[in-house]
Amino acid sequence: SFTVKRKLGSGGFSTVWLCEQANMNRSVAIKIGIYNEDLRSAIMDEMALLNCIRNADASDPHRDKVVQLLEHFTHSSGTTRDHMCFVFEPLESDLFDLMRRSNHTGIGVEKVKTVIRSVLEGLNFLHIKCQIIHMDIKPENILVTMDSDKVKQVKIADLGNGCYTYHHFMDQIQTREYKSPEVMILGDYNSNADIWSTACMAFECAIGGYLFQPIEGTDEKGKPYTLEADHLAKITIRLGPIPCDVYKTGKHWDKYFNE
C-alpha cells in the first residue's frame, strides 16, 4: 500500500506524487495517468519502453542515469476511468527547478558540464543498449539531486514521447524549443534528435535563455509565417544552411526550402 505525501508535478495526461510504500519502507514517485481507450495505446507503448529499460544490460555503468521503473499497477477511482500507475525511484527536483533558482541567468559552467555529461551517458545507454529514442529531452525531464551546491545525481525521466530506434510511434514529437530540424519537416529522424535537444538544453543551462525561440508573425510584405518556418530560419542564421540531404527527407521540406 502507498501513502501520498505530496504532489511532485503534472503534465497533460498524468500527475506525479511522492508516496511512502509501507511494506517496503521506501519513498517512491508514482506517475498516475488516465487509462482510457483514447490513451491506452500510448500508455502501453510507454510501459513497453520502461520494461525494455528495466531489462536492459544490468552491467552498463550508465543505466543509473535513467529513471528505473520499480513496478506498475492499475487503480480504479470509482468512476468509469481507470488509472495506470507507474512506480519510480524518487528524486528531489528537476533541472528546470535548478535553473529557476538561478533566476534563469545560468547555473554555472561546472554544473552544466556535470548535468550534460550525465544526460549524454544516459542517452548512450538508451540509444545503444535499449534502442530507444527519448524524443522529449528538456529541463523538466531531467531529474537532479543536489548535495549543497553540487550536482550529486542526474537521471533522465519521462518516456511518454519515446519510441524505438527501429519503430517510431508518431511524427509530431519533441517540445518546440528543443525540436530538431528533421522532426519539424517530418523527416527521417533517429537518435540524433535527442542529441540536438540536449545541445539546446546545454545552451539554456549555461546562458539562461533558449537557443531558439521561434514566433509566428508576418514578413516585410505582410505574408504570415509559421513557427516552423521561423524556427528553421533561426537555425539557419545561427548555424548555417541545413544540408540538402537532411531537409529533403522531410514530407514537408518543400514548404520551407527551394532547390
Helices 109-124 and 192-207 cross at an angle (nearest 10°) of 170
Among 30-44, 71-85, 118-132, top mean pLDDT goes to 118-132
Phi, psi of 135 (to 5 degrees): 70, 10
Calculate what percentage of the chain has a pLDDT beyond 70. 96
Which homologous superfamily does the CATH classification assign to the domain defined by 2-88? Phosphorylase Kinase; domain 1 (3.30.200.20)
Given CA atoms 53, 59, 60, 66 in this order, what sign does their dihedral have? positive
pLDDT for position 87: 94
Q: Can you tell me the distance from the alpha carbon of 101 to that of 208, in angstroms, rounded to the nearest whole number?
A: 11
Domain limits, CATH 3.30.200.20, in the chain? 2-88
- Per-residue model confidence as pLDDT tens digits over 191-231: 999 999 999 999 999 999 999 999 999 988 888 999 999 99
**pTM of this prediction?**
0.91
Q: Can you tell me the distance from the alpha carbon of 11 to that of 141, in angstroms, rounded to the nearest whole number?
A: 11
Q: Could you say which DSSP state residue 58 is in?
A: T
Is residue 116 scored above 60 in pLDDT?
A: yes
Q: How far is CA 230 from CA 171, 177, 214, in A?
A: 19, 12, 5
* pLDDT band at residue 127 under the 50/70/90 scheme: very high
* pLDDT band at residue 44 under the 50/70/90 scheme: confident
Is residue 119 scored above 80 in pLDDT?
A: yes
* pLDDT band at residue 82 under the 50/70/90 scheme: confident
Burial 62-82 (b: 16+ CB within 10 A, else e): bbbbbbebbebeeeeeeeeee
The CATH number of domain 93-256 is 1.10.510.10: yes
Whether the Cβ atoms of residue 190 and residue 180 lie closer than 8 Å to each other: no
Is residue 185 scored above 80 in pLDDT?
A: yes
- Binding residues for ATP are 31
Q: Can you tell me the distance from the alpha carbon of 82 to that of 37, in angstroms, rounded to the nearest whole number?
A: 10
Whether the Cβ atoms of residue 17 and residue 32 lie closer than 8 Å to each other: yes
pLDDT for position 156: 97
Residue 154's H or E segment, with its range, is: strand 150-156
pLDDT for position 101: 92
- Binding residues are 31
Catalytic residues: 136
